[in-house]
Structure 1
């Protein structure tokens, strides 16, 4: 019988082990969609966990060990599922980490997800995440501003930095289309794994792409916009703030084609 699991370091997590984590917020994670027991961009997920561990804890677990924890969790579940791998230090938070406090891994699986159908409207708010290159937990601002946006009649939120540049969404990367090339916003942000997959596959497909600063004033000159994350390589966006954006079905199809071109691998 298959089931979804919560495991700590490759075995079932106990309530005693989970209790202190429920009251802690110093950790990082990666989220992935598993289809047929395989994952696209596994190397990017492992890179993310390794680099974030070095940044937050000063040490990282070997990739082979992390992969073994992922395999153990996948064996217990269906072929298609969502997986969240969280890395934390047993030293906890609000204290200087002990040099010997090796990071530990919490893996949770759940039903497969594919994201909203769209198109979406995004409110804008000036906000810059702490450690923006790290996918860390305990980010109250993202949920707070998302709920504020929904309360204002939007579907989600896009962040604008102090220089007026669009950076990312609450749980999304942003991507734009100028009619011929994919435009990635230049700002401090989290480099998403799906974003990484799409960028390298667009290169292989010979599709032009560039990184540039994008402000609200730049939007009327663009030909389309999407958000993407581990759920999906693209959900159409038809308004950011008060600025409407045209439908771009060919852009959306291109991003999905690039994502599908990435061969999935088994942990």
Structure 2
């Protein structure tokens, strides 16, 4: 069965997509769908809703968003990668009030699981604009990724102006101190997988805490991972100059926590 590109619940035409191909004022969420079901659906809906209010001053109703998602899934396989983007028909470089209703683009593709790791991450100073919004057009992410690979790394992790680790290019970071999961404190995008893992770790009784983490703190830690919609935990063996030990128990906790979240139909 085919994968789809749909706009507001119907197949998108070239005429509809052409102006969007040259625009960059939108936000999105990325989902791995398995057997037609999604983990953390409430977090994806909240992400789309809050980002729309931030960027456009209004949001599509959740029931309509779910309807668009169901329509896209009915047109293809039960296992897909799905990206749902919300944009303003007014485009970018314009002023549009909340009377302009946002539109939604949905694209499906082959399911993905991400790299197996362990990964090495370059440490670069970078702070995302609107860090709490998963918005499009972030040229710095791809640029930093390509720079990191050219330097012999697999990807890049970001340091803010205070030297705190925040996130990676398309990933959240998490650390292990030998007993607790440690979440970095800095301005960042809170990922949906991160949200699922955090609440399920609480349910499973695995300790977790938050702390500011610099490169100088890494030698005292017992492991690190990156996570996003592909995976709740890909091991990291190095960030910048600091090597990190393998932490199979840590990775197991994260994967077990994510798997314990009920997968819900749309």
Where on the TM-score scale, by shorter chain, does this alignment land: which range?
Answer: over 0.9
Q: Does 1:240 align with 2:239?
A: yes
Instruction: Tell me how far apart the structure 1 counterparts of residues 174 and 25 of structure 2 sit (CA, whole Å).
Output: 29
Instruction: Tell me how far apart the structure 2 counterparts of residues 145 and 107 of structure 1 sit (CA, whole Å).
Output: 27
Provide structure 2 residue ranges, at least 5 long, that are not aligned to the other structure: none
Instruction: Tell me how far apart the structure 2 counterparts of residues 99 and 206 of structure 1 sit (CA, whole Å).
Output: 43
Taking the TM superposition and a 5 Å limit, the aligned residue runs for 1:187-202 are 187-202=186-201
| Deviation of the 1:98 alpha carbon | 3.7
Note if contact 2:173-2:224 (Cα within 8 Å) is conserved in structure 1: yes
RMSD across aligned C-alpha pairs, in angstroms? 0.5
Taking the TM superposition and a 5 Å limit, the aligned residue runs for 1:118-157 are 118-157=117-156
Note if contact 1:91-1:98 (Cα within 8 Å) is conserved in structure 2: no
Aligned to 1:28: 27
Instruction: Tell me how far apart the structure 2 counterparts of residues 225 and 128 of structure 1 sit (CA, whole Å).
Output: 21
Note if contact 1:26-1:137 (Cα within 8 Å) is conserved in structure 2: yes
Aligned to 1:74: 73
Taking the TM superposition and a 5 Å limit, the aligned residue runs for 1:1-267 are 2-267=1-266
| Deviation of the 1:100 alpha carbon | 2.0
Instruction: Please list the CA deviations of residues 93-134 of structure 1 after superposition, one character each: whole Å capped at 9, or x if unmatched.
Output: 001014421000000000000000100000011000000000
Note if contact 2:165-2:215 (Cα within 8 Å) is conserved in structure 1: yes
| Aligned partner of residue 33 in structure 1, secondary structure | strand
Count of matched residue pairs? 266
Instruction: Tell me how far apart the structure 2 counterparts of residues 88 and 71 of structure 1 sit (CA, whole Å).
Output: 19
Note if contact 2:193-2:228 (Cα within 8 Å) is conserved in structure 1: yes
Instruction: Please list the CA deviations of residues 114-162 of structure 1 after superposition, one character each: whole Å capped at 9, or x if unmatched.
Output: 0001000000110000000000000000000000000000000000000
Instruction: Tell me how far apart the structure 2 counterparts of residues 266 and 70 of structure 1 sit (CA, whole Å).
Output: 10
Moved over 6 A (4+): none
Note if contact 2:232-2:254 (Cα within 8 Å) is conserved in structure 1: yes
Note if contact 1:26-1:136 (Cα within 8 Å) is conserved in structure 2: yes
Instruction: Tell me how far apart the structure 2 counterparts of residues 117 and 207 of structure 1 sit (CA, whole Å).
Output: 23
Instruction: Tell me how far apart the structure 2 counterparts of residues 98 and 185 of structure 1 sit (CA, whole Å).
Output: 36
| Deviation of the 1:198 alpha carbon | 0.1
Note if contact 2:172-2:227 (Cα within 8 Å) is conserved in structure 1: yes
